[in-house]
Amino acid sequence: MGLNYVAVTYDAGKPIPRFEKASYFNIYYVKAGKYSHGQMLSTLDIPADQLVDQLTAMRIKRVIARDFAPKSMALLRKAGIEFYGFGGGTDAAIAAYTRGELSPL
């Protein structure tokens, strides 16, 4: 498995928010079942279509959030980005992903 870039919605240590309500995304680098934190992406006041464009430009192939609005799901699908639902914290979400416990929605 090559290097994957995974974005996880983030809100100051709280359970991860909805895709559209996230203030930030934690960007993780995942390779061979291990992950490391890469950078933080601010998403304040960015409409969903522009956010998907920005994620695509960053080579993000997977997004984890608590849930997604139908419009966001359609935009992510069109961009070829897989998306996963998870209700816990950011670190727990990426750990569950690397263990293969999450399935794309």
Has this prediction a pTM greater than 0.85? yes
Averaged confidence pLDDT in the chain: 89
Q: What is the pLDDT of residue 84?
A: 96
Task: Convert the pLDDT of each residue in 73-85 to its tens digit.
Answer: 999 999 999 999 9
Backbone angles phi, psi at 52, to 5 degrees: -60, -40
Task: Convert the pLDDT of each residue in 5-43 to its tens digit.
Answer: 999 998 876 778 899 888 899 999 998 888 888 788 888
- Chain CA centroid to CA 48, Å: 13
- Given a cut of 70, whether residue 1 has pLDDT beyond it is no
What span, in angstroms and rounded, lies between the C-alpha atoms of 75 and 34? 28
What span, in angstroms and rounded, lies between the C-alpha atoms of 52 and 54? 5
Residue owning tokens 């609005």:
69
